[in-house]
Amino acid sequence: MKIGVLGTGMVGETIGSKLIEKGHEVKMGSRSATNEKAAGWVSKSGSQASQGTFKDAASFGDILFNCTKGEISVEVLKSAGEETLKGKVLVDLANALDFSKGRPPGLIFGTNDSLGETIQKSFPDLKVVKTLNTMNCTIMVNASGVPGEHDVFICGNDPEAKKKVSDLLAKDFSWKNIIDLGDITGARATEMILPLWLRLYGTFGNTDFNFHITR
């Protein structure tokens, strides 16, 4: 597939590199078509990798990955353009964190809203699928990085989009336990896991962990 990755940070680079490894074409988007971090990633990733603006990446991709900071995600998507995003599948793995009171950060959205929902409401013709936001990026792309049984959550309004993303998670990122939480309002629940994740990170001193639901 052709995939657009929005964001040049550690998450975007990790996602983009894994997708390249799996044979996809990936265009990394940023504010500038000549972003140095994106250029560095392209130079080491081979002929299947390219870079451009957020709009360029959004135009290129059959599937898009939102790897931007959650507090600027809507702004980034607006810069890509509503018409450009129309009908696209967006994998939203961002979390909107509030660092105004120091660390650990809180959440910008409360219990009655979420970043995933806000993106969907802002771009009604975009097919938003919330997933992968409850773990470190190295685990996102390699489920076997944590031993034993553990889960990834997924939610979104469009069943076909969720199926397409679930297939990618299973085939390219090795996920076996994919739990469907229903429509995009499920993003409230997965985003609210972040405060717990951050506390566990502080307790363990590393990010080599994930969640598993037993029943």
Q: HEC states along 62-109?
A: CEEEECCCHHHHHHHHHHHCHHHHCCCEEEECCCCEECCCCCCCEECC
Tens-digit pLDDT profile for residues 32-60: 999 999 999 999 999 999 999 999 999 99
Tens-digit pLDDT profile for residues 137-165: 999 999 999 999 999 999 999 999 999 99
CB atoms near residue 31 (< 10 Å)? 10
> What one-character DSSP code corresponds to residue 193?
T
How far apart are alpha carbons 188 and 57 in whole angstroms? 27
The overall pTM is greater than 0.75: yes
How far apart are alpha carbons 168 and 170 in whole angstroms? 5
Give the pLDDT of residue 107. Answer: 86
Q: How far is CA 111 from the centre of its chain?
A: 20
Q: Is a pLDDT exceeding 80 seen at residue 202?
A: yes
Residues sharing a CB contact under 8 Å with residue 193, sequence separation 6 or more, in sequence order? 134, 211
Structure tokens given for 50: 């390219």
**Which one-letter amino acid corresponds to residue 63?**
I
- CATH number, domain 2-204, options 3.40.50.720, 3.40.50.300, 3.40.50.920, 1.10.10.10: 3.40.50.720
Q: In which element (H, E) is residue 18 found?
A: helix 10-21
How far apart are alpha carbons 136 and 180 in whole angstroms? 20
Q: What is the mean pLDDT of residues 187-199?
A: 96
Give the pLDDT of residue 106. Answer: 82
Q: What is the mean pLDDT of residues 103-120?
A: 89
Q: How confident is the model at residue 186 (pLDDT cuts 50, 70, 90)?
A: very high
Give the pLDDT of residue 108. Answer: 84
How far apart are alpha carbons 174 and 22 in whole angstroms? 11
Q: Is a pLDDT exceeding 80 seen at residue 110?
A: no
Give the pLDDT of residue 104. Answer: 81
How far apart are alpha carbons 2 and 57 in whole angstroms? 10
Structure tokens given for 183: 């429509």
Q: How confident is the model at residue 188 (pLDDT cuts 50, 70, 90)?
A: very high
- Residue 191 contacts residue 109 (beta carbons within 8 Å): yes
